[in-house]
Structure 1
């Protein structure tokens, strides 16, 4: 049997899907979206047996991910409440350079989660996520902080929270300093300048 022809959607820049991963994979097998920039996928358990989704991500130069780790009605670019399942997406997410982390989750899996994104240069963390990220990072060895997010250059924290004080001092003292922002306007200005030089 011949494979079905692929429909090219050259003007599609946003893609939103809610449903089972089997249906997502079947849809991905039938479309080519060379200009897609914004992908929103919502489901509670990610089935990693989705080879077409992997091809879609790689083909579309998918480099920004927003993850909501909470388990209630998220509005996100990629939703996977179970971090362990997200860990199985490593080959697809290893080129992500901008990571937004929202919501609350147990600290047990956060370090694993952060290590999934070795290319992240820019990370913004909301107020709810700051606490558990700080909790995990304060327990790792000082020399490992920069190994967790080795390419990180810009970090936006949603609040003026002292919980991340240890992390911030380690970043500033390391050979790979990270610029930290507490004001979104300043962060966006610096972010725009960052993308212009890339």
Structure 2
């Protein structure tokens, strides 16, 4: 929904609130503003004029069509607000998944660079980052192995898992990333100690 249309709806809805808050506003004005007969407010807005305005607003608020219009617009405003919140939530989730994909790809590259030396001792400094992305992946219901991956004879499967799933996440293909992650389960889940 366009921004101006949303503002228009909220503006109309705000105007429809005026007759509903009129009794409270009238009481407050009578007690605080119009109580002083020599005050500026009484001079500018005579009590008879204010009473006429408030009576007209009260009568408007009691019209059958007004109640229908208010209920209808309230439903529309709530629907628009929920849709906006849902879209913002989806955008934030998509951003976080793309960020997770970047982390996956970075870990793949870092582990691949270190394959010349002894696995898993060569990635001790990366273990917190690896565990962190596994936890993040599970938070988004994306299959991720656990710390048993350190018992793999080498890190090639883990590197490919990170690279393939990370690429799909970065590109915004979240369903395909989940399928790809599950396809690596037989290779990364049933680890035999080396």
Q: Tell me if TM exceeds 0.5.
A: no
Q: Compare the two structures and name the one with the higher helix fraction.
A: 2
Q: Compare the two structures and name the one with the higher strand fraction.
A: 1
- Which structure would you say has the larger RCO, counting Cα contacts within 8 Å and 6 or more residues apart? 2
Q: TM-score range by the shorter chain?
A: under 0.3
Q: Normalising to structure 1: TM-score of the pair?
A: 0.22
Whichever of the two has the greater Rg, that structure is 2
